[in-house]
Amino acid sequence: MDSVQTRPAFRVVGRSIPHRDFEEKVRGEMAYADDARMPGMLHGKIVRSAVPCATILSIDTIEAHALPGVRAILTADDVPYNTISEAVTGLGMDQITMPVLAGSRVRYQGEPVAIVAADTPQIAARAAELVLVDYDDVPGVFDPSEALDPGAPAVHPDGNVLVAWSIREGDAAAALAAAPVVVEGTYRSQHVDHAYLEPEGGMAWIDGDGVLTLRVSTQVIEHAREVARIVGLPQSKVRVIGSYMGGGFGGKEDMTLEPYLALLVLHTRRPVKMIWSRQESLLARPKRHPFTMTYRTGATLEGQIVAQHIQIVGDAGAYPLLSPRVLFAAAVTAVGPYRVPNVDVSSRAVLTNNVPTSAFRGFGAMQVTLGYESQMDRLAEAVGLSPQEVRRLNHLREGDLLPTGETLPTYPALDEVTRAALEAMGPGPETDDPRHRVGRGFATNMQPYGRTVFFADHASAWVGYEPDGSVTVRAGVTDLGGGQTASLAQIAAEVLGAEPDRVSVHIADTALTPLAGGTFATRQLYMSGNAVLQTATELRDAVTPVAAELLGAASDDPLVFADGAVVVEGTDRRVTLAELAHACEDAGVDPARLSTFRPPRGEFDPRTGRGKTFPDYTYGTHAVDVDVDLDTGRVRILRYVACHDVGRAISPQRVEGQIQGGVVQGIGYALSEEIVIEEGNNQSSLFADYLIPTSADVPDIETIVLEIAEGKGPFGARGIGEAPVGPTAAAVANAIAAAAGIRLTQLPFTPERVLEALRSAGERGE
């Protein structure tokens, strides 16, 4: 056998196989969070703060209680441990906690104040309206830059800077002072809603042995532990089952309705269902962080970057949630996929009385793409190079150091993804309409996959042959709809030789599936994919001697696990997986394994800003042609090509789907989506006012899936969940600049903003 195997052949991995869950979905049979009910079930409703910043003087529930069919009304005093206290940074910087129900003080509009359980959703909603909360408004702060003023109202007692990260390398100030070319820009992003089509929902009940059981649409079943602490139960008495989600995108990463369901169930001793309306989801669920990003980029006359000075301020809203980590990811990736010898990045999360912000696909690393990729185009213009040339000159290369002092983990295929995307675009756009301008832009990004390595992340999986030779996998992953479960089935089938449709993957149940750590941070293919690969490989190794004996094979005869059987390679000697499973029982070999995948840990020192951060990155380039209507300011996407190096596509069709979906979310972010908040009051709590792209707003998204550089996932895969949402806004900004000569820096690029920029450019005589 050849000792060098560059591209091993796979039977199952790399094929686009429809999985059971997708068949259930096209049949309409998938049971989501709202699709189950129980006898005697009550309906829960949250009473939310009508005002953004106030003291609660009193809560009067008398009238609401009097409504027939109302079974419980709970307020802060009824919560055994009224604190949501997950340690968020992992670096010991967490002081501010969040109440389950606001007690004496509300800090954002929509904050939960009381909860109601009633016989019907209508009665619960009516009762919630009848709960009279007497608010005494106190001055709030709604703009992060104002929140930084010394005299600003304090959102929490310890000041409004929630966290400040700093990453420094070399001497950025000196290098900028000496640099012959300096380009500057300030870029602003907006509050964005996840807008998954399934609003938050779930049902809970008390099951056998007094176990409080919640079946919810969540990305993280491990919140069971947090729920236990809040309601005062042992953690062994709380079970969370994650239903297949109708989308998540990070919005179901923090708890949603778990503590409220738990409290109502324990109080009423009856099953309770709670489904949030679209309007309360838009009003009160955490959003994507608005960032203000100020970049100063220094370079040589030839276009070589010598320094980046970057200041990032993110609006955390009224409570920390995951803001410290989001701003951390922003800091680490702020210079983009480029070599920069002198770096000074500061990244702060600032508290305000706006709706809290937290995880959202891209997680801080996506917002900064508008910063560094707009800067690259500005630099290209300043030094007289093409945007592609200036990037190629500065691209990270294999083995380079990042500003944190760590070595780039794997090969960054930056030249390759950029060339592929631009070549696919072909000749540039043209128009003969004098009132339109067309142009092309592109942007490249690096998006981490996997949690920061100081979290000591791990994921477990149970894999076993059934007596009939089919394969069962148990894994605590939750399924967002991105094929999380399906890819695990493919990996198990690949290793264990089962037909893919003979593999069942049981997921997302803290009572029954080994914990996998939640579906976020583009970590599940990396973590649970590796866990299933590792466990299945251990299992195959354990049963191989049994198979060899059945087959009368010599110890060095190569055995192949494929097509429901084990064969001696190159012969017709064959034993079915069912026969193998039986033989294992007879031989006393357990045909099942449980094992845990633990990637290498690393340390990071927040004082020096140096150490190990993310396990690895996924690289991509998106290119776009736009049309700018000079009369209306409308920007239309004419063509779009997105290229990513995924290392290995486990299921190519789903990789394409992730890219296409990410891009269209990115187009919404770039052009139309914004939760408008005025003095803390949400102006966009109707879906009619929150404009996610329709099919008529976007062209076909052409994808190029490259398998160039081996990543750290199973079979060399890189994560693709978050990466494709990153480059879009910057690519569109660069295309608008190329088309109309205007550099837009404030998202979204609405017709009003485009017209304003055109007017300003006209007045400047450009």
Partner 1 sequence: MTEKQRMAFELNGTPAEVWAFPFQTLLDVLRVEAGATEVKYGCGEGVCGTCTVLLDGESVNACLLLAPQAAGRRITTVRGLGTEGELHPLQAAFLEHGGSQCGFCTPGMLLAAVEFVASADAPGRDEIRDAISGNLCRCTGYTKIIDAIEGYIASRTGGGPHSG
Q: How far is the CB of 736 from partner 1 (least distance, A)?
A: 21
Residues contacting partner 1: total by CB under 8 A: 58
**Residue 391 vs residues 185, 342, 343, 424, 443: alpha-carbon distances, Å:** 18, 17, 18, 18, 10
Judged by CB under 8 A, the residue of 387, 464, 661, 711 near partner 1 is: 661
Edge-to-edge strand order for the sheet containing 105-106?
105-106, 54-60, 132-137
Q: Does 455 sit near partner 1 (CB under 8 A)?
A: no
- Shortest Cβ distance from residue 17 to partner 1 (Å)? 11
> Who contacts 236 (Cβ-Cβ below 8 Å, separation ≥6)?
none
Residue 30 touching partner 1 (CB under 8 A)? yes
**Cis status, amide bond into 748, omega within 30 of 0:** yes
Query: Which CB atom, from 51 or from 641, has the smaller least distance to partner 1?
Result: 641
Q: Which of residues 537-556 bind partner 1 (CB under 8 A)?
A: none
Q: Least distance in Å: CB of 752 to partner 1?
A: 22
**Is 360 a residue that touches partner 1 (CB under 8 A)?**
no
521 binds partner 1 (CB under 8 A): no
Q: Is 66 in the site for partner 1 (CB under 8 A)?
A: no
664 lines the binding site for partner 1 (CB under 8 A): yes
Contact 257, 108 (CB under 8 A): no
Give the Cα separation of 703 and 497 in Å (integer). Answer: 31
DSSP E strand boundaries for 65-111: 70-74, 105-106
Q: Smallest gap, in angstroms, from Cβ of residue 665 to partner 1?
A: 7
Q: What does DSSP say about strands 503-507 and 471-475: parallel, antiparallel, or unpaired?
A: parallel
- Would you list the DSSP string of 564-611? TEEEETTS--EEEHHHHHHHHHHHT--SEEEEEE-PPP--EETTTTEE
Q: Looking at this protein, which amino acid is placed at residue 443?
A: A
CB of 501 to partner 1, least distance (A): 13
Those residues whose C-beta lies under 8 Å from the C-beta of residue 191, and which sit 6 or more positions away, are 287, 288, 289, 290, 315, 354, 355, 357, 674, 675, 676, 677
Backbone torsions φ then ψ of 334, nearest 5 degrees:
-65, -30
> Judged by CB under 8 A, which of 665, 684, 734, 750 binds partner 1?
665
Q: How far is the CB of 160 from partner 1 (least distance, A)?
A: 33
Region from 311-319, 439-447, 537-545, 654-662 binding partner 1, contact rule CB under 8 A = 654-662
Q: Which residue's CB is nearer to partner 1, number 79 or number 649?
A: 649
Q: How far is the CB of 617 from partner 1 (least distance, A)?
A: 22
Per CB under 8 A, 18 contacts partner 1: yes
Considering the rule CB under 8 A, would residue 40 count as an interface residue with partner 1?
Answer: no
* CB of 685 vs partner 1, minimal distance in Å: 11
For position 625 contacting partner 1 by CB under 8 A, the verdict is no
Least distance from partner 1 to the Cβ atom of residue 479, Å: 9
Report, in Å, the least distance between residue 275 CB and partner 1.
7
Residues 6+ apart with CB under 8 A from 331: 165, 166, 167, 312, 345, 346, 347, 364, 609
Q: Contact between 688 and partner 1 (CB under 8 A)?
A: yes
Of 20 and 392, the one with the shorter C-beta distance to partner 1 is 20
Where in 294-323 is the site for partner 1 (CB under 8 A)? none
Site membership for partner 1, residue 384 (CB under 8 A): no
The yes or no reply on residue 656 touching partner 1 (CB under 8 A) is yes
Lay out the site mask for partner 1 across 189-228 (x = CB under 8 A, - = otherwise): -----xxxxxx-----------------------------
Least distance from C-beta 735 to partner 1, angstroms? Answer: 18
The answer for residues whose C-beta is within 8 angstroms of residue 135's C-beta and 6 or more apart is: 49, 50, 51, 54, 55, 56, 57, 106
653 binds partner 1 (CB under 8 A): yes
Binding mask 132-171 toward partner 1 (x if CB under 8 A, else -) reads ----------------------------------------
**Smallest separation (angstroms) from partner 1 to the CB of 13:** 17
Applying CB under 8 A, which part among 134-142, 620-628, 681-689, 713-721 lies near partner 1? 681-689
- Residues between 690 and 709 that touch partner 1 (CB under 8 A): 692, 694-698, 700-701
> 342-351 and 305-317 as β-strands: parallel, antiparallel, unpaired?
parallel
Task: Determine if 34 is a binding residue for partner 1 (CB under 8 A).
Answer: yes
User: What residues does 343 pair with on adjacent strands?
Assistant: 169, 308
Binding to partner 1 in span 456-495, by CB under 8 A: 480-483
Complete DSSP assignment for 731-746 = HHHHHHHHHHS----B
> How far, in whole angstroms, is CA 356 from its chain's centroid?
16
Q: Does 180 sit near partner 1 (CB under 8 A)?
A: no
In the complex, minimum distance from the CB of residue 670 to partner 1, in angstroms, rounded to a whole number: 14
Closest CA to 111 of 258, 283, 349, 322: 283
Smallest distance, partner 1 to C-beta of residue 649, A: 13
Residue type, 563: D
| Number of helices and strands in the chain (H, E) | 18, 30
| CA dist., res. 755 & res. 514, Å (int) | 55
* Identified binder of partner 1 from the candidate list 127, 181, 212, 245, rule CB under 8 A: 245
How many Cβ atoms sit within 10 Å of the Cβ of residue 576? 16
Cα–Cα distance for residue pair 307/328, rounded to 1 Å = 20
- Sign of the alpha-carbon dihedral angle for 363, 365, 371, 377: negative
Residue that the structure tokens 């709706």 belong to: 355
Q: Which is nearer to partner 1, 242 or 336 (CB)?
A: 242
Q: Which SS3 state, helix, strand or coil, does residue 461 take?
A: strand
Is 425 an interacting residue with respect to partner 1 (CB under 8 A)?
no
Contact residue for partner 1 among 32, 81, 135, 455 (CB under 8 A)? 32
Closest to partner 1 by CB, 144 or 481: 481
Among positions 251-290, residues that touch partner 1 (CB under 8 A) are 275, 277-279
One-letter amino acid at 266 equals L
17 binds partner 1 (CB under 8 A): no
CB of 645 to partner 1, least distance (A): 20
* Three-class DSSP category at 143: coil
Question: In this chain, which stretch among 32-40, 423-431, 506-514, 757-765 interacts with partner 1, using CB under 8 A?
Answer: 32-40
Beta-carbon contacts of residue 271 (< 8 Å; ≥ 6 apart): 38, 39, 40, 41, 42, 203, 204, 205, 265
Alpha-carbon gap, residue 293 to 348, rounded angstroms: 10
Task: HSE, CB side, 13 Å, CA atoms: give it for residue 120.
Answer: 6
Closer to partner 1 at the Cβ: 4 or 26? 26
Find the shortest distance in angstroms from Cβ 708 to partner 1: 23
Residues 183 and 378: beta-carbon distance below 8 Å? yes
Distances (CA, A) of 658 to 365, 503, 622: 17, 23, 14
Q: Is 504 in the site for partner 1 (CB under 8 A)?
A: no
d(CA 698, CA 76): 46
- Contact residue for partner 1 among 375, 470, 660, 682 (CB under 8 A): 660
Q: Considering the complex, what minimum distance in angstroms separates the CB of residue 26 from partner 1?
A: 4
Is 14 a binder of partner 1 (CB under 8 A)?
Answer: no
CB-nearer residue toward partner 1: 394 or 660: 660
Chain residues binding partner 1 by CB under 8 A are: 16, 18, 21-32, 34-35, 194-199, 244-249, 275, 277-279, 480-483, 653-654, 656-657, 659-665, 686-688, 692, 694-698, 700-701
